[in-house]
A and B are shown apart, each in its own frame.
Chain A
Amino acid sequence: MSMSIKSRMIGRALLGAAMALMIGGGSAQAAEGIVPPSQDWSFNGVFGTFDKASAQRGLKIYKEVCSGCHSLNLMYYRNITALGYSEDQAKAFAAEYETTDGPNDDGDYFTRPARPSDRFVAPFENEKAAAASNGGKAPPDLSLMVKARMHGADYIYALLTGYKEVPPEGVTLSPGGHYNEYFPGHQIAMAPPLFEDAVEFDDGTPATVEQMAKDVSMFLAWTAEPEMEDRKGMGVKVFLFLLVFLGLAIANKKRLWAKLH
């Protein structure tokens, strides 16, 4: 394999070099991509948290729309208690799925209702099966999707709402391709997954495409970073501690050095 120095490389800007001047770089956008508009997510910012009601709706959308093709391999059914479900609800949710277990004493694999300690059941046996059922390319696992794409949840939202029924003039789609404003290359194999009232929300929220896109992006932001609330909460405490420590260190140093002659 030859060193691909000439391969096209686009990346984030530089940070660093000498001096404390950190030239912080936001992420450069892929040449063919469009920067998705920023949404006002509840998880943005230092004190950001997940909107649990929205994420619960997102779970329903995942279950009824996405999970036909996309796996969520890193999640366990027990995890959904973090979205405000009780343990019994998580148990009931898990029990709706059949998972494979075994081998039993006879050496056979068997299916049984899933338990909270089981991972989300994937729609396909394995990646090859997934690819075979989807025109040769397996639909990606969604667990980390928000972290694995530039602009995270903004991108997912933009992608889900960025379909155009009629592609702009001059664009010819290959068979099975769909025009999407935000997908790199603008041609995506996934058909528009969301349509008005695709899901009936338990809390009565009108299921517009925008609403569903927002909710499922919220849900996937959670599956990508389930630790986020803990992390930001701990960060506040660590900052307060370090500021006190900094104050003490400054006072101590001043006092000490002031007496030097």
Chain B
Amino acid sequence: MQSNEPGPEFSGVVKWIDRRLPIFTMMSKEYQQFPVPRNLNYFWSFGALASITLIVMIATGIFLAMQYQPNTELAFNSVERIMRDVNYGWLIRYIHMNGASMFFIVVYIHIFRGIYYGSYKEPRELLWILGVIILILMMATAFMGYVLPWGQMSLWGATVITNLFSAFPIIGEPIVTWLWGGFAVDNATLNRFFALHYLLPFVIFAVVFLHIAALHIPGSNNPDGIDPKGPQDTVNFHPYMTAKDMIGIAVFLLVYAALVFYAPNFLGHPDNYIPANPLVTPPHIVPEWYFLPFYAILRSFVADWWFFQIFLGWWGMTAKLAGVLAMFGSLILLAVLPWLDTSRVRSCKYRPVYKWLVFLFVIDFAILGYVGGKPAEGWYVIVAQWATLYYFFHLLILTPFVGWMERPKPLPASISQPAVAPAE
């Protein structure tokens, strides 16, 4: 949303530069005068938190890369050298390691906010799709980063996840061999994962730039989900929104610091402090916590599951392929959410039915995460299967139908005038 206020006044060197390359005008328009709805709540700070986490990850990552050795013989000990001998190496590594978890916490909350307040709806569909792309890139980056310390979980996580591609008929096996650059996850794999792990964050950075650029065209959505009607509905980004973001940043950093300084390995797995051994698989392999919901979806598809047998098994699809497709599908489906949701109303504040369905969806996601970390046996499998079905049922069936059937509450006339509009 373009501000109609006059541009800022500069003098001296800044003015000289700005006349030739208007970056100061741009910064001022986009990050100072940029009008944001004045009713934003603290959920709207999570975008800023995610940006900060990305910068922290890139900064610590570059300095870790200066010490890390991407070679199967050296990798494990080079990480321990960082922990023991490099000045503040332990700090940088723990910030980076836990930063991955903080990044996903923040981004999952950011996504929840988008879903709850309908931020993906017209005219912000592309903004949302860019966000889904960022999420997928983050997952790829985090996965490859976890391989680098070359512990037991690194090796076996890499083996299991790259083997996902073997589910595809004919092309599957060649793809896996190509990904590995050998006949197993080995030195070639570690080397390319390091190269890509260094590259992808900058790709993420570029997509984040587009994400923010796309945001600054319509401007931020807000808890009421209605467009600002004039200056009385907005405040300047700086100092008003920045002042709010500062509080969010402080709280975020407190949580982050608690992990880094007092529970640095709480979210990790002890097995990754055992050097990778290609001859022994750890008895209990699990991915990092942020992959668990998707991991549960993957594991739900077993050959004797009634759903698989009735709907998928009979025309030649294997349970393995179905699981892989479902897992990728669960992510891709998020990208088309703007078109699955048929409601005219953005915010769940005014959607009495869908609001509860969103909460149920979150609980379902949490349940998937919980069972994803449990052994694939007994009740855990059955719960995972039903939760998987509900995940897709919510997105493919409930979301479009509730959009049609639901009678939304009346929307306020404007943001600054929260009184309910006169009944029609």
Residues of chain A whose beta carbon lies under 8 Å from any beta carbon of chain B: 1-25, 27-28, 30-31, 46, 73-74, 79, 140, 143-144, 147-150, 152, 184, 224, 226-227, 230-232, 234-235, 238-239, 242-243, 245-246, 249-250, 252-253, 256-257, 260
Contacts and interface: CB of A to CB of B under 8 A. Distances in A.
A4 B247 CA distance: 45
B172 to A, nearest CB: 11
Contact of A16 (B104, B244, B260): B104
B: interface residue count bin: 35 or more
B286 A9 contact: yes
B366 A148 contact: no
Residue among A12, A31, A140, A250 having the largest count of chain B Cβ atoms under 10 Å: A12
A35 B199 CA distance: 42
A4 B160 contact: yes
A153 to B, nearest CB: 12
Contacts of A4: 160, 281, 285
B323 A16 contact: no
B265 interface: yes
A231 B286 contact: no
Interface string B246-267: 1101110110011011101111
A227 B84 CA distance: 7
Contact of B289 (A16, A18, A150): A16
Contact of A231 (B246, B261, B302): B261
A11 B362 contact: no
Nearest to A237: B261
25 contacts: A1-B163, A3-B163, A3-B166, A5-B323, A5-B376, A6-B376, A9-B374, A9-B376, A10-B375, A11-B284, A14-B369, A20-B109, A21-B366, A22-B105, A79-B84, A144-B274, A148-B274, A227-B83, A239-B257, A242-B254, A249-B247, A249-B249, A249-B250, A256-B240, A260-B235
Residue among A20, A230, A235, A246 having the largest count of chain B Cβ atoms under 10 Å: A20
Contacts of A250: 247
A5 B298 contact: yes
- Say what secondary structure dominates the interface of chain A: loop
A144 B284 contact: no
A18 B262 contact: no
Contacts of B266: 24
Contacts of A20: 105, 109
Given A7-B281, A19-B109, A148-B271, A260 B38 contact: yes
B163 A148 contact: no
Contacts of B65: none
Given A18-B365, A257-B243, A9 B285 contact: yes
B273 interface: yes
Nearest to A247: B250
B270 A256 contact: no
B250 A253 contact: no
B320 A252 contact: no
B284 A9 contact: yes
Interface of B: 38, 77, 80, 83-84, 90-91, 94, 101, 104-105, 108-109, 111-112, 159-160, 163-164, 166-167, 184, 235, 239-240, 243-244, 246-247, 249-251, 253-254, 257-258, 260-262, 264-267, 269-271, 273-274, 281, 283-286, 289-290, 292-293, 298-299, 302, 320, 323, 362, 365-366, 369-370, 372-377
Nearest to B372: A14
A27 to B, nearest CB: 8
A234 B292 contact: no
Contact of B320 (A3, A74, A249): A3
A24 B163 CA distance: 30
Contact of B112 (A3, A15, A19, A22): A19
Contacts of B254: 239, 242-243, 246
Given A230-B90, A253-B243, 18 more contacts: A1-B163, A4-B281, A5-B302, A5-B323, A8-B377, A9-B285, A12-B269, A14-B373, A15-B101, A19-B112, A46-B262, A79-B84, A147-B265, A227-B83, A232-B262, A238-B261, A239-B257, A243-B254
A128 to B, nearest CB: 12
Contacts of A230: 90
Given A242-B257, A257-B240, A260-B38, A2 B163 contact: yes
Contacts of A25: 373
Nearest to A24: B266
A57 B356 CA distance: 60
Nearest to B260: A235
Residue among B91, B105, B270, B370 having the largest count of chain A Cβ atoms under 10 Å: B270
Nearest to B364: A17
A9 to B, nearest CB: 5
A31 B283 CA distance: 11
A257 B370 CA distance: 41
Contacts of A148: 270-271, 273-274
Contacts of A19: 109, 112, 362
